[in-house]
C-alpha cells in the first residue's frame, strides 16, 4: 500500500514558521534578552500578584465575554467597552481579522518591512500578500494606495512599525484611509502606541470612530510587560465586533491574563515611568551608537534598528554581542540582514549595549 500523507492546504506550506527572539547563548551565564521588545521593567508588580491570586480559581472557565478587562480598557482609554474585543495576544486578533476578511482569492497589502505576522498569517490564510516598497524605511502612502487592486480586501499598517521604528503622522494615516475604497479593511496595529511622544500621532481611535472599515489593535506585551500572558485587544466598529464575536473561540483569553491586565492598567505611574525611561534611554543609545559611527534609524518604539552597512558586519556585531550575553534580533527574515534590532532594556542593559557596540565599531 502506498502511503498517502495527509496534506494541509497548499498555502500553508508556503509559510516559513515565525522565529521568535532567542533567549539562550551556550556557555554564557548571564543572558540579557533584548530581542523581543518586551518592555524594560518586567511585569507590573500588581499584575504578578493578580496572576498568583487567579491561580486559586484555575479550575473555573474564564469569563468568555471578557467583561471586566474590556471595561477596564474602556475606562483607561476612554472607549466604549462594547467596541473592544480581546484576544490571546493581538496576534490572535490579526489572525481572526485575516480569516474573516481575507483568505483565498483576496489580496492583503502591507509595507515592505511591516510586521512579519501579516505576511505569515496572510499567506497561510491563502491571501496574496503584496509588500509595498518604503521610503527611508517608512511606509509610503502613495505606494500603498497604488498597490491596491480589485481583489484587495485588507491593508495592514503597524504604526509605529516594528522592526523599523518609523511612524506615520495622523495626517498621513488619514490620507491613506481616505484614498482606500470603503470596502477595504484598514488594520492599524498600534502595539507601541504608548511609547510615542510625538503630538501629531493618533493610535487609530479617531479613524475607527469615523467610519465602519478601520480597526485598531493594541497589546499588553510591550509597555505593560506581559508578553507571556498573551493579551491583546481590538477597537472596532460594531459590525466588525460582531464578526470577531463569531470567529473567536469562546474562552480565547485566559483568566490570569485578564486579571493581570486589569491590575496592569491600575498600576500607578507605570506607563509614565516606562515612557520617560524609554525616551531617555533610546536617545542615549542612539546618540552613543551614532557617535561610534553606526547608523541608527529614528524610532518611536522601545527598540532601535541599527544599520551595520553589510550583512557580514551585522553578523559579526551579533556574534560580538552574544559573546557578552546580549541577545538582540537579527533582521534577515525582514530583508534587513545588514541591521540588528535592539530592544531598550534597563539603564544598565543599555549601558552594556553601548559598551559592546562601541568596542565593536572601533574594531
Ligand atoms: C509585538 C507585536 C505584536 C504582537 O503582540 P501580541 O499581543 O504579543 O500578540 C503585534 N504587532 C506588532 C507590530 C508587534 O511588534
> Is the distance from the beta carbon of residue 50 to the nearest atom of ligand 1 less than 6 Å?
no
CA of 3 to the centre of ligand 1 (A): 40
In this predicted structure, what is the pLDDT of residue 1? 61
Nearest CA to ligand 1 atom 14: 191
pLDDT band at 86 (very low <50, low <70, confident <90, very high): very high
Q: Give the Cα-Cα-Cα angle 114, 167, 260 (nearest 5 degrees).
A: 80
- Whether the bond between 85 and the residue before it is cis, its omega within 30 degrees of 0, is no
Q: What is the pLDDT of residues 326-351, one digit of tens each?
A: 999 999 999 999 999 999 999 999 99
CA of 73 to the centre of ligand 1 (A): 17
22: pLDDT strictly greater than 90: no
Q: What is the pLDDT of residues 309-329, one digit of tens each?
A: 999 999 999 999 999 999 999
Q: What is the pLDDT of residues 186-226, one digit of tens each?
A: 999 999 999 999 999 999 999 999 999 999 999 999 999 99
Picking from 155, 136, 147, 174, the residue whose alpha carbon sits closest to that of residue 297 is 136
Nearest CA to ligand 1 atom 12: 191
Average pLDDT over residues 173-184: 98
Atom index in ligand 1 nearest the CA of residue 222 equals 1
CA of 105 to the centre of ligand 1 (A): 26
**What are the cell numbers at 311?**
550583512
In this predicted structure, what is the pLDDT of residue 144? 98
Picking from 319, 341, 315, the residue whose alpha carbon sits closest to that of residue 328 is 341
CA of 363 to the centre of ligand 1 (A): 35
Q: What is the pLDDT of residues 220-244, one digit of tens each?
A: 999 999 999 999 999 999 999 999 9
CA 303 – CA 279 distance, rounded (Å): 10
Q: What is the pLDDT of residues 260-317, one digit of tens each?
A: 999 999 999 999 999 999 999 999 999 999 999 999 999 999 999 999 999 999 999 9
In this predicted structure, what is the pLDDT of residue 11? 86
In this predicted structure, what is the pLDDT of residue 26? 81
Q: Where are the domains of the chain?
A: 22-42+270-361, 45-266
* Arithmetic mean of pLDDT over the chain: 96
Average pLDDT over residues 105-109: 98
> Is the distance from the beta carbon of residue 91 to the nearest atom of ligand 1 less than 6 Å?
yes
In this predicted structure, what is the pLDDT of residue 5? 87
Q: Give the Cα-Cα-Cα angle 260, 264, 268 (nearest 5 degrees).
A: 150
pLDDT band at 4 (very low <50, low <70, confident <90, very high): confident
> Is the distance from the beta carbon of residue 164 to the nearest atom of ligand 1 less than 6 Å?
no
> Is the distance from the beta carbon of residue 162 to the nearest atom of ligand 1 less than 6 Å?
yes
158: pLDDT strictly greater than 90: yes
> Is the distance from the beta carbon of residue 36 to the nearest atom of ligand 1 less than 6 Å?
no
Give one DSSP letter per residue of 66-116, joined into a string.
-HHHHHHHHHHHT--GGGEEEESSHHHHHHHHHHHH--TT-EEEEETTS-H
> Is the distance from the beta carbon of residue 43 to the nearest atom of ligand 1 less than 6 Å?
no
Which of 168, 219, 329 best tests ligand 1's pocket when mutated (most atoms within 8 Å of CB)?
219
Query: Among the listed ranges 22-26, 93-97, 119-123, which one has the minimum average pLDDT value?
Result: 22-26
Query: pTM (2 decimals)?
Result: 0.96
CATH architecture of 45-266: 3-Layer(aba) Sandwich (3.40)
CATH architecture of 22-42+270-361: Alpha-Beta Complex (3.90)
In this predicted structure, what is the pLDDT of residue 299? 98
Q: Which residues contact 39 (CB under 8 A, 6 or more apart)?
A: 221, 222, 223, 224, 225, 227, 274, 302
CA 187 – CA 90 distance, rounded (Å): 12
Q: What is the pLDDT of residues 43-53, one digit of tens each?
A: 999 999 999 99
CA 200 – CA 114 distance, rounded (Å): 21
Amino acid at each position: 500500500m502506498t502511503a498517502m500523507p495527509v496534506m494541509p492546504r497548499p498555502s500553508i506550506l508556503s509559510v516559513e514558521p515565525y522565529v521568535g527572539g532567542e533567549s539562550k547563548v551556550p556557555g554564557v551565564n548571564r543572558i540579557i534578552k533584548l530581542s523581543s521588545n518586551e518592555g524594560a521593567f518586567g511585569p507590573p508588580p500588581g499584575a504578578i500578584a493578580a496572576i498568583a491570586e487567579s491561580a486559586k480559581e484555575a479550575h473555573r472557565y474564564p469569563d468568555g465575554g471578557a467583561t471586566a478587562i474590556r471595561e477596564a480598557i474602556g475606562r483607561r482609554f476612554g472607549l466604549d467597552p462594547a467596541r473592544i474585543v480581546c484576544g490571546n495576544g493581538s496576534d490572535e486578533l490579526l489572525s481572526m481579522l485575516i480569516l474573516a476578511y481575507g483568505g483565498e482569492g483576496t489580496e492583503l497589502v502591507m509595507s515592505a518591512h511591516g510586521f512579519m505576522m501579516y505576511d505569515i498569517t496572510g499567506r497561510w490564510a491563502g491571501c496574496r500578500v503584496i509588500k509595498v516598497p518604503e521610503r527611508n524605511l517608512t511606509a509610503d502612502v502613495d505606494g500603498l494606495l497604488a498597490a491596491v487592486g480589485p481583489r484587495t480586501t485588507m491593508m495592514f499598517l503597524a504604526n509605529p512599525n516594528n522592526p523599523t521604528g518609523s511612524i506615520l503622522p495622523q495626517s498621513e494615516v488619514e490620507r491613506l484611509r481616505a484614498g482606500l475604497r470603503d470596502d477595504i479593511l484598514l488594520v492599524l496595529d498600534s502595539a507601541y502606541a504608548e511609547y510615542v511622544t510625538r503630538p501629531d500621532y493618533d493610535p487609530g481611535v479617531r479613524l475607527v470612530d469615523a467610519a465602519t472599515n478601520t480597526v485598531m489593535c493594541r497589546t499588553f506585551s510591550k509597555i505593560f510587560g506581559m508578553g507571556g500572558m498573551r493579551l491583546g485587544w481590538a477597537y472596532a466598529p460594531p459590525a466588525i465586533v460582531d464578526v470577531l464575536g463569531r470567529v473567536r473561540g469562546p474562552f480565547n483569553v485566559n483568566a490570569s491574563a485578564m486579571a493581570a491586565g486589569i491590575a496592569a492598567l491600575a498600576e500607578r505611574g507605570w506607563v509614565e515611568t516606562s515612557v520617560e525611561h524609554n525616551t531617555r534611554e533610546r536617545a542615549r543609545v542612539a546618540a552613543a551608537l551614532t557617535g561610534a559611527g553606526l547608523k541608527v534609524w529614528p524610532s518611536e518604539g522601545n527598540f532601535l534598528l541599527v544599520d551595520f552597512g553589510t550583512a557580514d558586519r551585522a553578523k559579526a556585531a551579533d556574534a560580538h554581542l552574544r559573546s557578552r550575553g546580549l541577545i538582540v534580533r537579527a533582521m534577515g527574515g525582514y530583508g534587513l540582514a545588514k541591521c540588528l534590532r535592539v530592544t531598550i532594556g534597563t539603564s544598565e542593559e543599555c549601558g552594556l549595549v553601548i559598551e559592546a557596540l562601541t568596542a565593536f565599531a572601533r574594531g
